[in-house]
Amino acid sequence: MKKVVLRSAVVACVTVAAVTGCYSDKGAGAKMSNGCEPSVVVKPFGKTKDGQLVQQYTLTGAGGVVMDVIDYGGKVVRLYTPDRTGAKTDITLGFNSVSGYETQDPYFGSLIGRYGNRIANGKFMLDGKTYTLPTNNSPGDLPCSLHGGNKGFDAYVWHSEPLSEGKSVGIKFTMTSPDGDQGYPGKLDVTVCYWLSPANVWRIEYEAVTDKATPVNLTQHLYFNFKGEAEGTILDHELTLFADQMTPVTKGLIPTGKIVPVKGTPFDFTTPWQIGARINADNEQLRFGGGYDHNWVLNNRSGKLAPAAALYEKTTGRYMEVWTTEPAIQFYCGNFLTDKVPSKKPGRNLCHRGGLALETQHSPDSPNQPDFPSTILRPGAVYKTVTEYRFGAK
């Protein structure tokens, strides 16, 4: 295990074992104390099938949250947060090996780009020219391009370096997506920083610049289960979405272009609702999604950081707020997950709806939807968004 020299003198270079008892990888229920010494520790995670070395960073936050992140797709492999008694559990879905991600990955914990979510038929028109993308997904037998195509940003090994500032620690990821990558125009230079603060906030800062106009819609696809990875479904989690409207979809999970109020429907999460409470309602949208797999238009569309969602699980007390500068959020409740997907826990598998994702972004298919906020980045402009996942327990 390599010790990482951080730029700030405030953050000690320590190995995981030396972190004052904050972190011990004993699995669910291990105790986590507050007031940890923040650190970043790097060690090899494995190799891609084409032989690239994949590094794992362990970020230990001063508030006690610990995350293991790999430079392959910027994936969060493990995320330990305290419950209301201070016991920590890994609350995210992932795999213990690179090959797990390469063979059967539902985008667990990944950075998603160049375009998070779907583009209808893998086609869009920009400045009079039609572009064709790989159609790597076809819900309802209607092909679309999903999460950047056949090789999205989740499948790149990113350049990475540790960060520190005050008592926060982090990782800076950079990569260049070449002109024509997956059919998209322009060379796109992308920087994503993950920060873990003493207040147990995981802050993600996205930046990109291009040399030709191109759609950009970056997001993070972490799956949460506050009871712990492979500990049943998320149907009992209580969700709040700060969104009075959503974008209904076709059976291909492509927005129809309408933006409709959620009031009086199973999509109204403006007050906390158990995810399972209305999921089987007689509702065409729920049938198309196989449950919740939709995009909500956030009430805050100012571009300033504001609450988008809150999630609570009452047996553990785990609570999280999602804040973002983005105008929309995809809530996906793991409808495509099955018990064929292995867990990180030996001998165990996941289950249908064993995790949920809250993906901050612009709405799906925006390049083909004139009434949605634009996702087109032009040369000279800088794409900049911020999302925070704020962890706690009550």
Active site residues: 221, 359
3-state secondary structure of 202: strand
Cβ distance to ligand GAL smaller for residue 146 or 201 = 146
Other Cβ atoms within 10 Å of 381 Cβ, number: 12
Q: Does 336 bind ligand GAL (CB under 6 A)?
A: yes
Q: Which of 385, 239, 221 is nearest to 301 (CA)?
A: 385
3-state secondary structure of 169: strand
62-312-260-286 Cα dihedral, nearest 10 degrees:
120
Tokens standing for residue 221: 């696809």
Cβ contact 38:76 at 8 Å: no
Piece of 7-15, 160-168, 203-211, 328-336 that binds ligand GAL (CB under 6 A):
328-336
Cβ distance to ligand GAL smaller for residue 40 or 357 = 357
User: Number of residues in contact with ligand GAL, rule: CB under 6 A?
Assistant: 10
- Taking CB under 6 A as the criterion, the residue among 202, 273, 292, 332 binding ligand GAL is 332
Quote the least distance from Cβ 54 to ligand GAL, whole Å: 21
Cβ contact 157:184 at 8 Å: no
- Taking CB under 6 A as the criterion, the residue among 56, 145, 168, 330 binding ligand GAL is 330
Cβ distance to ligand GAL smaller for residue 57 or 101 = 101
Give the helix ranges, DSSP H, for the chain: 98-104, 284-289
Q: How would you label 383-392 residue by residue, b for 16+ Cβ within 10 Å and e otherwise?
A: bebbbbbbbb
Give me Rg for the CA atoms of the chain.
20
Map residues 134-153 to x or -, x wherever contact with ligand GAL holds by CB under 6 A. Answer: ------------x-------
Q: Does 162 bind ligand GAL (CB under 6 A)?
A: no
Other Cβ atoms within 10 Å of 364 Cβ, number: 27
Quote the least distance from Cβ 354 to ligand GAL, whole Å: 12
Cis peptide bond N-terminal to 114, omega within 30: yes
Q: Does 105 bind ligand GAL (CB under 6 A)?
A: no
Quote the least distance from Cβ 357 to ligand GAL, whole Å: 6
- Taking CB under 6 A as the criterion, the residue among 73, 106, 198, 392 binding ligand GAL is 106
Compute CA 95 distance to the chain's CA centroid, rounded to the nearest angstrom: 15
Q: Does 293 bind ligand GAL (CB under 6 A)?
A: yes
Cβ distance to ligand GAL smaller for residue 57 or 288 = 288
Piece of 198-206, 256-264, 302-310, 330-338 that binds ligand GAL (CB under 6 A):
330-338
Q: Does 359 bind ligand GAL (CB under 6 A)?
A: yes
Quote the least distance from Cβ 367 to ligand GAL, whole Å: 17
Going from the C-alpha of 27 to that of each of 78, 83, 89, 224, the distances in angstroms are 11, 13, 6, 16
Residues within window 247-266 making contact with ligand GAL, judged by CB under 6 A:
253
What is the C-alpha separation between 289 and 350, in angstroms, rounded? Answer: 20
Cβ distance to ligand GAL smaller for residue 107 or 202 = 107
Sign of CA dihedral 240, 193, 195, 113: positive
Q: Does 296 bind ligand GAL (CB under 6 A)?
A: no
Q: Does 246 bind ligand GAL (CB under 6 A)?
A: no
Contacts to ligand GAL by CB under 6 A: 106-107, 146, 253, 293, 330, 332, 336, 357, 359
